[in-house]
Amino acid sequence: MQRFQCYINGEFTDGEVRFESIDPATGRAWAEMPEAREADVDRAVEAACKALHDGPWHKFSATQRGKLLYKLADLVAENAGKLAELETRDTGKIIRETSAQIAYVADYYRYYAGIADKIEGSYLPIDKPDMDVWLRREPIGVVAMVVPWNSQLFLSAVKIGPALAAGCTMVVKASEDGPAPLLEFARLVHEAGFPAGVVNIITGFGPSCGAALSRHPQVDHIAFTGGPETARHVVRNSAENLASTSLELGGKSPFIVFADADLESAANAQVAGIFAATGQSCVAGSRLIVERSVKDRFLRILKAKAEAIRIGSPLDMATEVGPLATERQRDHVQALVARSLSAGAGLVTGGTAPEGAGFYFRPTILDCDGSASPSLDNEFFGPVLSVLSFETEAEALRLANDTRYGLAAGVFTQNLTRAHRLMKGIRAGIVWVNTYRAVSPIAPFGGFGLSGHGREGGLEAALDYTRTKTVWLRTSDDPIPDPFVMR
Ligand code: NAD
């Protein structure tokens, strides 16, 4: 069995308690992880706090911080193969995707390396004589980062990159379901030469480790990605330390197909939107809203594509759909499909777990027209597509917005003016027109409503890791006049 360590204050540590990590493709334990408990969380936060205020880090120029980030980016690129294999092994996400995604993660670090010395303050045209006033942008402080199991290197890069660019220090809690890639990434942070305590990486369970971290009195900001229910715990925890929060949560994203769309292209995007990453994607296009006149034709194309998908070992480059990350997740998907079928949804394809070991579930399509299927409101975080049809553009928009989530949406049409109307009318943080599931370090990412708030990616994300300080400098040498009048 492989053994992994936490990274606290520049040192690798086993911790007193360990737990086994399960390979989702076999259902068997393959590695031992250190379980961080409250005392470990305290040590990690104290190290981050010390590094922020007393260590060499706060004396680094922004350009020096950028140089370290460039180094980290190069190390991620050089080690992408190994990191991808660990992520695939520990979470079941197919190697085809982890290899490509982690190679791209290096570009996120590069992007924020370049931004480090472009975070500028400002000078204010103040309305008083003999006074210079300006705003400094300072790091927000010690950041607690809590991430879910899927795409951990990506979801942590969009936090670690901008936070380091801004000069923050941090404690990153890897998910207990598949922490191997982030714990391995800690070795690259160490090799890049960040001073001790700037980046601490631990793992442990939500109600113990995650809770202790998010309510810690020395934490200034919590960057959380996960489900809305957990987010409520995190926000309640933040009532203790009054830390600010940014929340990237789940979704029930609409994928709208009009009759004039290129149906073949839309079907490929729909497959990418719901079956890639075995549907364990926050932006999964899980509600297909298709114009009634092409519904049957579009479903025929989709069904054929879904049934041709190669299910297999996630470590095989030819595999297209691997297992879900945990048994709990597979059981959740299975139970929600069963409830949806009982509520009247029609089974187009899939709906079952294949025989054999591992937490697999077949790509599934549910026809939900005329039913109140729970699949329409509840996030599966699995390979299950719910289908509704519409007659008019207004109906399509109403169905698209009929959700408390608001992360992403896809619109497929050749009609330019309609695309513009929908792009404005849809209540979601990301709208893709004639494409889906495209991301970039340059483009902000985040949601509305139950999908959370805060934006990751782009320049603003780096500014979100800063706070302003207003500095007043009196330029007159005359004595201060009447002390009883406010200046
Ligand atoms: P989760 O909410 O169960 O767990 C996320 C993290 O929170 C884990 O590290 C967990 O240990 C921690 N946690 C659990 N309880 C906690 C508590 N009481 N206090 C503090 N931390 C706690 O999420 P998951 O099941 O691992 O992941 C799936 C969810 O994540 C889905 O809802 C998915 O849509 C969402 N997600 C969102 C995005 C996005 O960017 N918007 C990206 C990926 C995943």
Question: What pLDDT is recorded for position 481?
Answer: 86
Residue 315 parent element (H or E): none
Question: Taking the CA atoms of the chain, what radius of gyration do you get in angstroms?
Answer: 24
Give the phi and the psi of residue 136 in degrees, each rounded to 5: -100, 145
CB-ligand 1 contact for 381 (6 Å cutoff):
yes
Give the phi and the psi of residue 441 in degrees, each rounded to 5: -60, -25
CA dihedral 372, 376, 382, 383 (to 10 degrees): 80
Q: Say which residues have a Cβ less than 8 Å from residue 478's Cβ, sequence separation at least 6.
A: none
List of the chain residues with pLDDT < 70? none
One-letter amino acid identity for 365? I
CA 372 to chain centre: 30
CB-ligand 1 contact for 225 (6 Å cutoff):
yes
CB-ligand 1 contact for 240 (6 Å cutoff):
no
Cα–Cα distance, 270 to 301 (Å, whole number): 11
Instruction: Give residue-wise pLDDT tens across range 291-321.
Output: 999 999 999 999 999 999 999 999 999 999 9
Query: Tokens in use for 290?
Result: 């298709």
One-letter amino acid identity for 211? A
CB-ligand 1 contact for 149 (6 Å cutoff):
yes
CB-ligand 1 contact for 146 (6 Å cutoff):
yes
Which residues have a catalytic role annotated? 248, 282
Which residue from 225, 229, 324, 455 has its CB within 8 A of the most atoms of ligand 1, so it is best to mutate? 225
Whether residue 214 contacts residue 89, with contact meaning beta carbons closer than 8 Å, is answered with no
Instruction: Give residue-wise pLDDT tens across range 75-134.
Output: 999 999 999 999 999 999 999 999 999 999 999 999 999 999 999 999 999 999 999 999
Cα–Cα distance, 16 to 167 (Å, whole number): 31
Question: What pLDDT is recorded for position 165?
Answer: 98
CB-ligand 1 contact for 284 (6 Å cutoff):
no
Which residue from 213, 230, 241, 246 has its CB within 8 A of the most atoms of ligand 1, so it is best to mutate? 230
Distance 389 CA to ligand 1 centre (A): 31
411: which strand partners?
Answer: 256, 433
Query: Tokens in use for 424?
Result: 């404005």
- Could you identify the residue written with the tokens 């495209």? 438
Task: Please calculate the CA angle 207-208-210 and round it to the nearest 5 degrees.
Answer: 75
Distance 298 CA to ligand 1 centre (A): 33
